[in-house]
Amino acid sequence: MAWFRSSSYIGKLAIKRTLSHSGSYAIRSQIFHLRSRCFRSTIFNPKQKMSPVPRSVPLSRLADNFLDGTSSVYLEELQRAWEADPNSVDESWDNFFRNFVGQASGPAGVSGQTIQESMRLMLLVRGYQVNGHLKSKLDPLGLEEREVPDELDPAFYGFTESDLDREFFIGVWSMSGFLSENRPVQTLRSILTRLEQSYCGSIGYEFMHIEEREKCNWLREKIETPTPMHYNKERRVLILDRLMWSTQFESFLATKMKTAKRFGLEGGETLIPGMKEMFDRAADLGVECICVGMSHRGRLNVLGNVFRKPLRQIFSEFDKNSKFEDESGLYTGTGDVKYHLGTSYDRPTRGGKRIHLSLVANPSHLEAVDPVVIGKTRAKQYFSDDLDRTKNMAVLIHGDGSFAGQGVVYETLHLSALPNYTTGGTIHVVVNNQVAFTTDPRAGRSSQYCTDVAKALNAPIFHVNGDDIEAVVHVCELAAQWRQTFHSDVVVDIVCYRRFGHNEIDEPFFTQPNMYKVIQKHPSALEIYKTKLLESGEVTEEDIDRMHKKVDSILNEEFMSSKDYVQQRRDWLSTNWRGFKSPEQLSRIRNTGFGTYVIDVVVFQTLGVCPDVLKMVGRAITILPEDFKPHRAVKKVYEDRAKMIETGEGLDWAMGEALAFGTLLVEGKHVRLSGQDVERGTFSHRHAIVHDQETGKIYCPLDHIMENQNDEMFTVSNSSLSEFGVLGFELGYSMENPDAIVLWEAQFGDFSNGAQVIFDQFLSSGESKWLRQTGLVVLLPHGYDGQGPEHSSARLERFLQMSDENPYEIPEMDATHRKQIQKCNWQVVNTTTPANYFHVIRRQVS
């Protein structure tokens, strides 16, 4: 792997130099027939003199027309070092010299083998591994025109048609696939056939950007296996059945709801069997719960066929006159369109297990749900003690335009490996219908693929032709295997099409006339797969007709039942949140009767915390280890805090917060504080994490309130420089369980506007639209320290929709606005009164 990366560029230049020395490097079409396949060839101009076939020469006499003087000298030095001590060179070079220097000990039948040929052959193999996806057949419509790179042309490396049946020594390498000891001697024809089958079929693999050799070897082993992808009859019939359900569901809705918007999946129906196979495989590998986020495209199909939401309920949601159960006295909210709703379900799998599925509700804002799903998944892992993050998994389904264009996608992606945000890998599935509303890819992104942003994470990307259902199933299963093996992100890009417009009453010919002329004549994935199975004899026309009638019968029965279906708006209210007050029920401050703890002139309403516990916590959070050497200013801060506890005087805001956190931990509550620079605090006030000035080690006093305290029970974490993504993450985290306090702090209060979509679409309206409750606490610090108008205001008027009031006078607002704050569940806290802050923090979980 290492020598490939270091020498490939030198090798390419050297090859071009060799060819240019001996002949004209012109492009002309020539076909080398390899069984049923062929590959494009770039050959020499026949009018020019052809270069001679290279002869075997010792490394020390290697000609500079292949490797320039610098690289050949470098190789000679490496060889001498290796001959003296094989351990003195990198393992990859050790393998190299073992394979190619002692040709006398090489395998029999390899005649005329030269080091130049070997390196050229390795570069050819690597060319397919790196660029084979550019030759793969991804577009089901056949409209995409892509130039095949020279690196996929054997003639580029000096091979001719006469070399096809020659045997070449590939070698014994610390790699999988072709560069392995399984078959060290192969003909060029067999090598090319296998390369074409592996990398240039219905799947295009991008993985050579990944730095870890172990991961690349794992993928090569999966991709380059000599045994082609094959499913038995039973499995193919199951795949056919799942594809039939996906296709007929859309056809049925199109027939019964002709003028309704449903954002159907026609053209991308293979997503449904792909998801089912992915979930089945994940369950086999130990996953017990999958949290899913997706936008509106195909959502109804996913709800009905994957999450098993009752079909009669889905159908009834199309009826404006549908019946609702009398839920007077209960908060039912405003509701939302049917393709924004979520659900949950315990799904049986093909392997006989059950897996819990949760589809998170989302707004129209594409990709906004991504960080919410990741945060919810992380919370599930905490509350289920999923320490190795293998039982709870996130799956995000994207559109091609939004995956490339929405910034929150990258904000979410780059959380994937951060210690306090990772979920052990997310599977990303892109439903790539090759058009974003009316925008062509050339106007929607600057990169080759819509998925190129994921390369920043070293995530493998599997592009697949959406018409090849077995290929879709294969990569979906492979993605599940990757996630459970390496606990990192992976992307599946299903290249399909959209049979109708952006919605079913939209006219696509306005903007994509050529594409839709092709789509009108293009058979569905179901028709293509039925034909394949009929030709193979694995099913008959009678079998297909029987399956079709069964699905159609069930759909019609459910449709008739939908006319009498009585909907319940509260049937999706999360179990963990039952019994909590709704927005229509104003909270009241309870009189706990436990008395108060007086420090200075501030009276703490402690909500059940007795003074002895408060002092015990205070002492625990002000003590640093004896051998710990903090910064002298921080040391003084902790000394002053210790005096506050012992004397009861001078308590400040940060200490009030720390006491609130500490007492909640004593009661067994999970506390999580996240945001930019929250460990120290924007105003250098918190110092929740202390750094040893000599060793660099860190210490968090709130992690040591009790003996054997769970490391994650108190989490304070500096976030990435993101508002949208991180606030969405913390919102999702807070939604999972009310038995915790989750806080997001903006670096400055006005920075919250970078996450306005989360505030507007989830935090402020989520309960009204979807009956989703959250206990998230948002901290918006600001101060009058000369940093300009933005940093002097948390802009609370943005949230309270106050147009006339002075934001600086919020603590003195009238009773009407205080009542409005109570309804919005916003707390305005004067930072000069730490008892108020202590009280607010404690109230959130009581």
* Ranges 474-488, 561-575, 585-599, most confident: 474-488
How confident is residue 289, by pLDDT bands cut at 50, 70 and 90?
Answer: very high
Q: DSSP secondary-structure letter at 255?
A: H
In the chain, count of helices (H) and strands (E)? 27, 22
Does residue 132 have a pLDDT over 80? yes
498-522 burial, b if ≥16 CB within 10 A, otherwise e? bbbbbebeeebeebbeebbeebeeb
What is the structure's pLDDT at 331? 61
CB count within 10 Å of CB 804 equals 5
Beta-carbon contacts of 69 under 8 Å, excluding residues fewer than 6 positions away, are none
Distance CA 436, CA 555 (A): 31
- pLDDT tens, position by position, 696-741: 999 999 999 999 999 999 999 999 999 999 999 999 999 999 889 9
For residues 832 and 536, which has the higher predicted lDDT (pLDDT)?
Answer: 536
For residue 277, give the H/E element and its range: helix 271-284
For residues 276 and 239, the answer to whether their CB atoms sit within 8 Å is no
Beta-carbon contacts of 52 under 8 Å, excluding residues fewer than 6 positions away, are 22
How confident is residue 572, by pLDDT bands cut at 50, 70 and 90?
Answer: low
Distance CA 805, CA 370 (A): 35
Structure tokens at 108: 């029999």
For residue 407, give the H/E element and its range: helix 407-413
Structure tokens at 117: 């040929």
> Scanning the structure block, which residue is given the tokens 């560069």?
179
CA distances from 629 to 418, 636, 791 (A): 27, 12, 33
Please give the domain boundaries of the chain with CATH numbers for all domains: 110-224 (1.10.287.1150), 247-319+336-567 (3.40.50.970), 611-843 (3.40.50.12470)
Calculate ∠ Cα 541-545-550, nearest 5°: 150
How confident is residue 174, by pLDDT bands cut at 50, 70 and 90?
Answer: low
626-635 burial, b if ≥16 CB within 10 A, otherwise e? eebebeeebe
3-state SS, 371-399, equals: HHHHHHHHHHHHHCCCCCCCCEEEEEEEE
Mean residue pLDDT of the chain comes to 81
What is the structure's pLDDT at 809? 36
What is the structure's pLDDT at 845? 59
Structure tokens at 354: 């059950």
Does residue 105 have a pLDDT over 50? no
For residues 775 and 741, the answer to whether their CB atoms sit within 8 Å is yes
CA proximity to 270, closest of 296, 310, 306:
306
Q: What is the mean pLDDT of residues 235-252?
A: 97
β-pair type (354-359, 343-348) = antiparallel
> Scanning the structure block, which residue is given the tokens 């999946």?
265
Percent of the chain with pLDDT over 70: 74
What is the structure's pLDDT at 36? 36
What is the structure's pLDDT at 325? 66
Distance CA 145, CA 143 (A): 6
How confident is residue 166, by pLDDT bands cut at 50, 70 and 90?
Answer: confident
Q: Rg of the chain's alpha carbons, rounded to an integer?
A: 32
pTM of the model: 0.84
- pLDDT tens, position by position, 673-693: 999 999 999 889 999 999 999
- pLDDT tens, position by position, 177-227: 665 545 567 789 988 999 999 999 999 999 999 999 899 999 998 998 766
What is the structure's pLDDT at 584? 60
Q: DSSP secondary-structure letter at 165?
A: T
* Ranges 423-427, 574-578, 737-741, 782-786, most confident: 423-427
Residue type (1 letter), 824: C
For residues 336 and 770, the answer to whether their CB atoms sit within 8 Å is yes
What is the structure's pLDDT at 701? 97
How confident is residue 67, by pLDDT bands cut at 50, 70 and 90?
Answer: very low
CB-facing half-sphere around the CA of 564: CA atoms within 13 A: 4
Distance CA 558, CA 313 (A): 9
Backbone angles phi, psi at 655, to 5 degrees: -70, -35
Chain-centroid distance of CA 426 in Å reads 4
- pLDDT tens, position by position, 343-364: 899 999 999 999 999 999 999 8
- pLDDT tens, position by position, 379-418: 999 999 999 999 999 999 999 999 999 999 999 999 999 9
**Residue 690, strand partner residues:** 699
Does residue 326 have a pLDDT over 50? yes
- pLDDT tens, position by position, 510-523: 999 999 999 999 99
Does residue 366 have a pLDDT over 80? yes
What is the structure's pLDDT at 91? 67
For residues 329 and 397, the answer to whether their CB atoms sit within 8 Å is no
Does residue 6 have a pLDDT over 50? no
* Ranges 119-123, 172-176, 819-823, most confident: 119-123
Distance CA 451, CA 475 (A): 15
Does residue 338 have a pLDDT over 90? no
Distance CA 239, CA 232 (A): 11
What is the structure's pLDDT at 789? 77
Q: What is the mean pLDDT of residues 259-263?
A: 86
For residues 590 and 153, which has the higher predicted lDDT (pLDDT)?
Answer: 153
Distance CA 603, CA 207 (A): 61
Does residue 631 have a pLDDT over 70? yes
Indicate left, alpha or beta for 681 from its phi (over 0: left) and psi (-120 to 50: alpha).
left
Distance CA 444, CA 673 (A): 37
CA proximity to 392, closest of 423, 435, 353:
423
Q: What is the mean pLDDT of residues 92-101?
A: 65
Distance CA 497, CA 500 (A): 9
Does residue 318 have a pLDDT over 60? yes
* Number of residues assigned to the chain: 846
Distance CA 83, CA 95 (A): 12
What is the structure's pLDDT at 834? 59
What is the structure's pLDDT at 735? 92
